[in-house]
Amino acid sequence: MSRLIAVSNRVADSSNGKTAGGLAVGLLAALRKQGGVWFGWGGRTCHGEPTDPTVIRRGKVSYATIDIDEVEFENYYNGYSNGCLWPLCHYMLNFFHYERCFGRAYVRVNALFARKLRPLLQVDDVIWAHDYHLIPLAGELRKAEVENPIGFFLHVPFPNIDVLRTLPGHRLILEMLTRYDVIGFQTTSDVRSFIEGLSRVGFLESRLGHDRFRACGREFTAAAFPIGIDVPGVIQMSERAVGSATVKRMRDGLVSRDLITGVDRLDYSKGLPERFRAFEELLASYPDTRGRLVFMQIAPPTRGGVRAYQDIRAELERLSGNINGRFAEPDWVPIRYLNRGFSRSILMGIFRAARIGLVTPLRDGMNLVAKEFVAAQDPDDPGALILSSLAGAAEELDAAVIVNPYDIEGVAEAIQRAANMRLAERQERHRSMMGQLRLNDIGAWTDRFLGALEAVRQQECRGGSITDA
């Protein structure tokens, strides 16, 4: 079996093998099964050219990390990746900010990744790069005469070409993606946006099959590979954690009230102010919910040095304070806003204890919180999931209560509906969603993507086109 070389902007902490979920869970599962290297930034900056990678081996997995020059990192990460690409991919142009120095640093850091990765590669390796930080990586590796199969998975949405055109040099983004052999997206809508973009700028040369295309002189696969979760792991963790001292204290503090929970990074794409306003609308329009429901929003801080994230934190603190001041009673506080992180185990226990999961991003590639909430439920008495139609997870979890996150009154109505949903309906919705989660779990995600990459490698060994297979 070929070694897997996983490349991402950040490498998980290898000291204890623990991870918060999402990308890290999927990559570690694949790496431990197949063996290989996880390569990327180790979390430290330097001045000037970084040294060679620091490599730590744990079992079948080697963790190879590099430093990045401080100024380069600022322009590559906070500037281009999160100041340009992130808002574009999430259709939030009011947060878009471009400077030419950002784009130059973005290309240089990808060239650095390729330069430092090249000596670690073996001839039979397959390479899997992740997310919007590393779009140019395949092109830089091809310049270094790397002929290994290279795949790319985009964890965020891919924008329509009319949005992408906002970015100076957007044609280069499209062209660089064609340097990969397999390009994976979360949803079929993302695939359509990508192919339409290639067509609109004149890069698309031909369609070779269902998922096969030719553009910019290269053939590649572009398909949806919706990321999943470790379903048995979440179930087991939630069953254990719901009995933990922390979760027991939380449940005792509810005094038999029903818990609504939201867990999101503190990010403007998550729709948190809109969510708070919807809960306020619920309390105002449905007085019977007062004293009956408690909304706990967990929002760990992220990118604290960026003004937009400082602003949203201040806004949430103001909103929660106003709502509590307006509706709280001596024995009941409607909103518990926690601006800190908790262990994955505790979160699974909170999910299992909740009556309603509120997942209402304004735009999201997938949103694994929605999937984890469903998997964490007690199947005999499951909670209800309220899910944004603008999250990729809505394509699979259509048995959730689907809402438009911009419709404040609509979200309030959905919470009221979920709070009064009969047991039989909750059970039927839960069974339907669990079927989807088991079908497209984390193992299926890695197997499908790596299977597509392996097909490229085997076909190249035979000297033919993959469309001949």
Q: Quick one: tokens of 46?
A: 């330097």
Secondary element (H or E) of residue 139: helix 137-143
Residue 463 has pLDDT above 80, yes or no: no
Q: Is 399 helix (H, G, I), strand (E, B) or coil?
A: coil
Tokens 């939380």, located at residue: 250
Summarize pLDDT for 258-314 with one digit per residue, the tens.
Answer: 999 999 999 999 999 999 999 999 999 999 999 999 999 999 987 655 677 888 999
Per the model's pLDDT, the better-predicted residue between 463 and 282 turns out to be 282
Counting other chains too, the contacts that 95-99 makes at CB distance below 8 Å and 24 or more residues apart are 95/268, 95/308, 96/166, 98/167, 98/168, 99/75
Angle between helices 344-353 and 245-254 (to 10 degrees): 30
At 358, the pLDDT band (50, 70, 90 cuts) reads: very high
Among 367, 386, 389, smallest CA distance to 227 is for 367
Q: How many CA atoms lie within 13 A of 386 on its CB side?
A: 28
Give me the numbers of helices (H) and strands (E) for the chain, helices first please: 17, 16
Q: What is the largest CA-CA distance in the chain?
A: 75
Contacts of 363 (CB under 8 A, 6+ apart): 89, 90, 91, 92, 157, 269, 390, 391
Q: Quick one: tokens of 448?
A: 């499908």
Give 83's DSSP letter: I
Summarize pLDDT for 311-320 with one digit per residue, the tens.
Answer: 899 999 999 9
Task: Answer for the pair 356, 384: CB distance below 8 angstroms, yes or no.
Answer: yes
pTM for this structure?
A: 0.94
Among 181, 210, 213, 208, smallest CA distance to 195 is for 213
Give 145's DSSP letter: T
Contacts of 360 (CB under 8 A, 6+ apart): 262, 270, 271, 274, 275, 278, 386, 387, 388, 403, 405, 411
Q: How many CA atoms lie within 13 A of 425 on its CB side?
A: 11
Among 235, 195, 193, 196, smallest CA distance to 211 is for 195
Task: Answer for the pair 118, 110: CB distance below 8 angstroms, yes or no.
Answer: no
**CA torsion angle 419 420 424 430 (round to 10):** -20
Predicted pLDDT at 17: 44
Can you tell me the distance from the alpha carbon of 99 to that of 106, in angstroms, rounded to the nearest whole number?
11
Catalytic residue numbers, as ranges: 155, 364
How many CB atoms within 10 Å of residue 253? 12
Residue 466 has pLDDT above 70, yes or no: no
Q: Is 101 helix (H, G, I), strand (E, B) or coil?
A: helix
Domains and CATH numbers, the chain: 4-228+443-461 (3.40.50.2000), 231-439 (3.40.50.2000)
Predicted pLDDT at 19: 43
Predicted pLDDT at 458: 78
Cα 155 from chain centre: 5
Residue 468 has pLDDT above 50, yes or no: no
Predicted pLDDT at 53: 97
Give 425's DSSP letter: H
Predicted pLDDT at 249: 95
Angle between helices 231-241 and 344-353 (to 10 degrees): 80
Predicted pLDDT at 15: 61
For the chain, the 3-state helix, strand and coil shares in percent, each to the nearest 5, are 50, 20, 30
Q: Quick one: tokens of 425?
A: 């309906």
Summarize pLDDT for 14-73 with one digit per residue, the tens.
Answer: 565 444 456 677 788 789 888 999 999 999 999 999 999 999 999 999 999 999 999 999
The size of the chain, in residues, is 469
Per the model's pLDDT, the better-predicted residue between 466 and 42 turns out to be 42
How many CB atoms within 10 Å of residue 299? 21
Summarize pLDDT for 82-131 with one digit per residue, the tens.
Answer: 999 999 999 999 999 999 999 999 999 999 999 999 999 999 999 999 99
Summarize pLDDT for 140-199 with one digit per residue, the tens.
Answer: 999 999 999 999 999 999 999 999 999 999 999 999 999 999 999 999 999 999 999 999
Predicted pLDDT at 22: 61
Q: How far apart are the first and last CA of the chain?
A: 20
Summarize pLDDT for 394-425 with one digit per residue, the tens.
Answer: 999 999 999 999 999 999 999 999 999 999 99
Helices (H), 228-367: 231-241, 245-254, 272-285, 307-327, 344-353
Can you tell me the distance from the alpha carbon of 252 to that of 126, in angstroms, rounded to the nearest whole number?
51
How many CB atoms within 10 Å of residue 388? 28
